[in-house]
Structure 1
Amino acid sequence: MTARAVVDPAGDCPDPGARALVAAAFAAISSRYVLARHQIAAALLDADGGIHIGLHLDAMVGRAAVCAEAGALSAARLATGAELVAAAAVRYPKPTEPAVARVVPPCGLCRELLLDHAPGLRAVVHDGTRLVLTPLSGLLPHKYVGTKWPAALTR
């Protein structure tokens, strides 16, 4: 079976930082895509310029699946204590879909998780016209704030 050429969505990013994140996530999922196993890769940018990659891990039991953003967050925290400043996730197309990868926003669970660890994080999302960096807190305006951690860690 020959590999098909899939369009990289990074070209739709006017912001150079967003473009680099999308390109990194696209490169990761392009090399690791497996139908029904690995469909999304995510990239997190830290304040020191490091990019940390995570891969979606599907599972027979849906609850056991791990989102790419969670993998990238774990990779980032293993590599550095630097503040995390931006995130992007790219979904690779199934063989039955047009050969265009697309940027996807974090799911609700990942929005909560990322904001727990990086309250100022911005995410690359499509605004209906183009890809933009937007505060993740705007995608989750009523974040759960419990009493598990000091308030300073959850803002």
Structure 2
Amino acid sequence: MRGDVVPNPAAGWTDPVARDLVSAAFETIRDRYVLARHQIAAAVLDADGRVHLGLHVDAMVGRAAVCAEAGALSAARLATSARLLAVAAVRFPKPTEPPLARIVPPCGLCRELLLDHAPHICVALPDNPQALIPLAGLLPHKYVGTKWPAPPLTHP
């Protein structure tokens, strides 16, 4: 089985929270990977210590696809109203790629969505294996509409 030869990208992380989130996302996508269907999994940690998982669901019409982070956010909100603290996403390699799973940052749409529902959430980034960083720092000019009052974002 190919999943047995792909190393877990959480191994190099020193932050235990980040390591656990990355590992949960990796194990999910390793077990659920399907070429051209499911390539990324995400894990969201809530303030009660629970981890909620989401799976990227691709579609023939790209705009209909659902990101793993959106799935994890939805799963979290179905399970709890606790504050959401952190998120990590892992992309599993295609069979034609080197067998290396990698941590991926949320896309722009997911950054907006996560910050709408968890303005203080932190994220695992591939180039910083020491600590989670505030997601707001990756989206310094977040859109603020008029649907509901938005709490001020803090930037690093």
Q: For each residue in 1:94-123, what CA deviation from the matched residue of structure 2 results, as whole angstroms up to 9, or x when unmatched?
A: 111111100000000000000000000000
Q: Normalising to structure 2: TM-score of the pair?
A: 0.93
Q: Determine the structure 1 residue equivalent to 2:144.
A: 145
Counterpart residue number, 1:24: 24
| Aligned: 1:41 with 2:24 | no
Query: Within 5 Å, which residues of 2 pair with 1:10-21?
Result: 10-21=10-21
Q: Contact conserved, 1:126 with 1:132, CA < 8 A, in 2?
A: no
Aligned to 2:100: 100
Q: What's the Cα RMSD here?
A: 1.3
Q: What's 2:117 paired with? A: 117
8 A contact 1:105–1:124 mirrored in 2: yes
Query: Aligned AA for 1:3?
Result: R
When the two structures are aligned, how many residues end up with a matched partner?
152
Instruction: For residues 53-90 of structure 1, give each alpha carbon's deviation from its aligned partner in whole angstroms, at most 9, with x where no partner exists.
Output: 00000000000000000000000000000000000000
In the alignment, is the contact (CA less than 8 A) between 1:125 and 1:131 conserved in 2?
A: no
Cα distance in 1 between the residues matched to 2:92 and 2:130: 17
Unaligned segments of structure 2, at least 5 residues:
none
Q: CA deviation at 1:131?
A: 5.2
Is 1:3 aligned with 2:22?
no
What is the percentage of aligned positions where both structures have the same residue?
70
TM-score, scaled to structure 1: 0.94
